[in-house]
Amino acid sequence: MLDWTDRHCRFLHRLITRRTRLYTEMVTTGALRHGDVPRHLDFDTAEYPVALQLGGSEPADLAHCARLAERWGYDEVNLNCGCPSERVQRGSFGACLMAEPQLVAECVAAMRDAVSIPVTVKHRIGIDREESYAFVRDFVGTVALRGGCEVFIVHARNAWLNGLSPKQNREVPPLRYELVHRLKADFPQLTIVLNGGVTSDAQIEAHLAHVDGVMLGRHAYHEPWAMAAWDTRFLGAAAPAAASVDEVEARFVDHVARQHWPGGASWLAATRHMMGLRNGLPGARRWRQVWSDAQRRHDDPRQVMAAARAAMCQAATSAATAVMA
């Protein structure tokens, strides 16, 4: 979710679901040790609960970054052992770390020694053509026993480190949910969260019969309103976070106006995250066109919202008239 789940994306999602745990995009230890720390770690308190996902393989660096995460107020720090991109591999972290469970255990132990917040690991079920259950079982067992990790977020696909792009790695290696379910059966004391290919509430419910949690990434991003029922259906809330798509859009636009528009700054980088908000609704395509118009990027976003809604209503009315005719 690199370049996707930034602070504005997370603010939008929090308007739709109050109780779902949100994760940052992966931030490398190098970016925090040598870059602009506030740019990477600042977030709105409305985002709670929120976890920082780290990429790295040096225990001391990860411990330093975990301390930063705790200092900034994150609820959790997560070590990424699942990203298959070549850029990440060149840094010797991401999915290639699954081949070194002892190193991962050392990294987790160093982070746990440094902070009091939970340290979790996100990983795949295997790398390359290694498809035996024993591989992921032994990885989890080593990191749990020697590193003290208690929470594992498991993408139910292998990561093919050669020959596939990151996009293909999300589509080509087959999903094998039964291996994630088996991990929970074999490690009942651990928290096992399933990730990969889940696109409906019915699927979430089915998996929750076997595991402790379900993580959604791209589906939640492209269809954000799909999260609207999660608080009440899965997380014990008495009422949803928002009553309507209109309410979410208005509150998000107020956020964008406060953050970006003063002084005429462009807000397109923030509003891109809500392009899927009205998917499937009449006139949604016209609504997206107005919001994506670069010529409007310095206008008051509240005025753009009014124009987008008017264009959406006009398009929906025209479509209905054409059907009646």
Single-letter amino acid, residue 212: D
Q: Token match 């005429």: residue?
A: 264
10 Å CB burial of residue 230 (0-12, 13-18, 19+) is buried
Eight-class DSSP state of 56 = -
Q: Token match 């035996």: residue?
A: 132
- List of residues 6+ apart from 4 with CB closer than 8 A: 25, 221, 273
CA angle 237, 238, 239 (to 5 degrees): 95
83 is catalytic: yes
**What is the chain's percent helix, strand, coil content, to nearest 5?**
55, 15, 35
- List of residues 6+ apart from 250 with CB closer than 8 A: 305
From 83, 96, 107, 149, the catalytic residue = 83
Eight-class DSSP state of 300 = -
**Whole-number Å distance between alpha carbons of 268 and 237:** 33
Tokens of 284: 């949604």
The CA distances from residue 50 to 79, 129, 296, in Å, are 14, 34, 32
Could you list the active site residues?
Answer: 83
